[in-house]
Each structure stands twice: as structure tokens, then as C-alpha cells.
Amino acid sequence: MTESTSPSFDGLEKGQTVAEREVAITRDTLVRYAGASGDFNPIHYNDIIAEEVGLPGVIAHGMLTMGIGASVVEEWAGAGNVSDYQVRFTRPIPVPNPGAASVAVVARIGALDEERRTARVDLTVEFEGAKVLGKAQAIVDCE
Amino acid sequence: MPVNADAVGRSYGPFEPYEVTRVKIREFADAVDAYSGAYRDVAVAQAEGYADLVAPTTFAVVIAQKAEFHVVTDPEVGVDFSMVVHGEERFTHVRPLVAGDVISTTVHIDSIKQRAGISMVTTRSELVDADGAPVSTVYSTLAVREA
């Protein structure tokens, strides 16, 4: 007998906030993500190269932002229970040096599928009051 | 030079299989601020019914990006990597990746849409396990600006 971690479907309500988190992204965060993911695009660590291609400076990996979003959903959903997850990258997050870019993540129930017992979790990810991800949706398998 | 729209339909791989390890899962979980014990502690993962450590939802990007690299470096596709911005990403999982998985990936160019000096290149990476059973599909859309 195993201890399932999927959330209970019953009692969920559309619009309900299931998890939220404020994350401080620093240059250290970017270096760690580059190493963990294998994404060594220099726009994520080298200001000169970032500016040469028209960016305001070093920006966070879009996949880091997406990954943090997933972590917030998983905090509620449990490990291994997100079967589908999509985002659009709509704005870059410049990461200062020194300092941190503070990103606010809120995960809310966007839709419920009674038949499949799945919940669509809609993510709002904001930096300086503006959304950085569009159509950020995760499908969570519930009990 | 713009991206070659005739490259739609091309496929690459499968490549040398990727071995999912506990070390890499822990490293990735730390990098994306993932809290669950099932990403770090084998006993916790097994108590939750998994064979070994579970990979966070977006871990499959580690495997998919290695495959996508073959697309962006194919001279006949013509992607200037310095002009690339990530547009969209999607993961569809049949089951979560776990440590010990040996994953083979084939990547397909599903669409290339061009407008106003930007090419939107969408790839689809199909990840299968050692038995050939599907594990995940990773869709990635890159926006490539013309230099």
C-alpha cells in the first residue's frame, strides 16, 4: 500500500488559490539552473552578450521561470501528479547584479473536469507587477 | 538569412539514450525550488509508489533540449542561435520520469511560421523508455529573429 500524494478532487472550487510563493531570482540562481539544465546560453550570465543582442542585461532562463511555476503547483499537487503543463513566455525577467528579481507566483484552480478528476491550475507569474508568462496552465491528476 | 520553412517535417534521432540519475534530479529540484521529498529521498519516493526519485515536472527539458540542439545546429534549417528567444513550451507526461529511466528521444520539426521578420519554429520531442513505451512529449517554440 502506498501513500498517494494526489490532492482530493472533491471540494475543489474554480478560482480557489491552491499555492503561492514569492521567489527571489539572483545571478546565483541562474548559474545553478544553467548547470542543472545544461542551458548555457550566455544571455543568462554575460551582460555584454545580453546587451549585444538587444536585451537590457542578463535575463532569467524562461525555463527557470516555468520550472519555478511547476514547483509551486507541485507543492499542492504532490510529486509526479502534473500530467500536462504549458506556458508562453511573454516578458523577460532581467536579473540585476548585485541584487535579486522578485517573482510572485500564484496558482489557482482554473477549471475542473469531473469525469477525469483532473484540475486545471492557472498560474499567474508576475515581475514588477507585470505578467511574465501567458497561458500558464497545468493539469493535475486528483484522487 | 531566414529559417528554411521547407524544414518542416524533418526528424532527428533517436540519439544516445539519456540516463536519468538521482544526482541530476536533486540538482534540478534545487535549481527550480522544488520542495517535495520525492525529488530527494528515495524512501519518500518509494512510499509514494514510485520506483525511485521522481523528476520535477519540467525536468524533461534537460533531455528534450539535447535533442532540439540537433535542430538548431542543422545548417539546412538555418537557425541563428544568437537571435533565438524562447516563445512557448509544453510538457505532456504519460508518467513521471524517475531515476533509473533510460530515455531515447526523437525530435520532429512540427511547424515553421514566418511573419514580420520572425520565424516561429515548433519542435516536438518524443521521449520513450528502454522498452520503447512513451513517457513524455515536449513541445518547444523558438522565436528566431532575422539578423
The number of distinct structural domains making up chain A is 1
Chain B residues inside the 8 Å CB shell of A53: 82-83
Global pTM value = 0.97
Q: Where are the domains of chain B?
A: 5-145
Asked if the model's pLDDT at residue B136 lies above 90, the reply is yes
The confidence score (pLDDT) of residue B147 equals 66
Task: For an interface test with A, give the residue of B19, B27, B33 to mutate (most A CBs within 10 A).
Answer: B33
Q: A90 in a domain, yes or no?
A: yes
Contact yes or no for A82 and B57 at CB 8 A: yes
The confidence score (pLDDT) of residue A1 equals 44
Residue percentage of chain A with pLDDT more than 70: 98
Task: Identify the band that residue A10 occupies on the pLDDT scale cut at 50, 70 and 90.
Answer: very high
CATH 2.60.40.10 at B5-145, yes or no: no
Give residue A99's Cα distance to chain centre.
20
Q: From CA B135, how far away is CA B126, in angstroms rounded?
A: 8
Q: A66 in a domain, yes or no?
A: yes
Give the residue with greater pLDDT, B137 vs A2: B137
Asked if the model's pLDDT at residue A2 lies above 80, the reply is no
Q: What is the span of the domain harbouring residue A106?
A: 13-25+59-141
Asked if the model's pLDDT at residue A75 lies above 80, the reply is yes
Q: CB–CB of B126/B106 below 8 Å?
A: yes
Task: Identify the band that residue A3 occupies on the pLDDT scale cut at 50, 70 and 90.
Answer: low
Q: A99 in a domain, yes or no?
A: yes
Spell out the residues 6+ positions from residue A114 whose beta carbon is closer than 8 angstroms to its own.
none
Q: From CA A109, how far away is CA B10, in angstroms rounded?
A: 38
Q: A8 in a domain, yes or no?
A: no
Contact yes or no for B86 and A62 at CB 8 A: yes
Q: CB–CB of B89/A87 below 8 Å?
A: yes
- φ, ψ of residue B21 to 5 degrees: the values are -115, 160
Asked if the model's pLDDT at residue B117 lies above 80, the reply is yes
Chain B residues inside the 8 Å CB shell of A70: 32, 34, 56-58
Task: Identify the band that residue B2 occupies on the pLDDT scale cut at 50, 70 and 90.
Answer: confident
pLDDT by residue (tens digit) across B48-64?
A: 999 999 999 999 999 99
Mean residue pLDDT of chain A comes to 96
Q: A53 in a domain, yes or no?
A: no
The confidence score (pLDDT) of residue A126 equals 98
Spell out the residues 6+ positions from residue B120 whose beta carbon is closer than 8 angstroms to its own.
B87, B111, B112, B113, B114, B141, B142, B143, B144
**CB nearest to B88's CB, from A29, A38, A89:** A89
Chain A residues inside the 8 Å CB shell of B23: none
Is residue A68 within a helix (H) or strand (E), and if so which, with residue range? helix A62-77
Nearest 10 degrees: Cα torsion B24, B26, B28, B29 = 160
Contact yes or no for B93 and A38 at CB 8 A: no
Three-state SS for A29?
helix
Q: CB–CB of B54/B96 below 8 Å?
A: yes
Is residue A106 within a helix (H) or strand (E), and if so which, with residue range? strand A101-113
pLDDT by residue (tens digit) across A23-50?
A: 999 999 999 999 999 999 999 999 999 9
Judge whether A74 is closer than 8 Å to chain B, CB to CB: yes
pLDDT by residue (tens digit) across A77-107?
A: 999 999 999 999 999 999 999 999 999 999 9
**CB nearest to A33's CB, from B31, B50, B90:** B31
Q: CB–CB of B122/B138 below 8 Å?
A: no
CATH code of the domain covering residue A107:
3.10.129.10
Q: A36 in a domain, yes or no?
A: no
Q: CB–CB of B60/B97 below 8 Å?
A: yes
pLDDT by residue (tens digit) across B13-48?
A: 999 999 999 999 999 999 999 999 999 999 999 999
Asked if the model's pLDDT at residue A68 lies above 90, the reply is yes
Q: Which residue from B minimizes the CA distance to A84?
A: B92
Task: Identify the band that residue B1 occupies on the pLDDT scale cut at 50, 70 and 90.
Answer: low
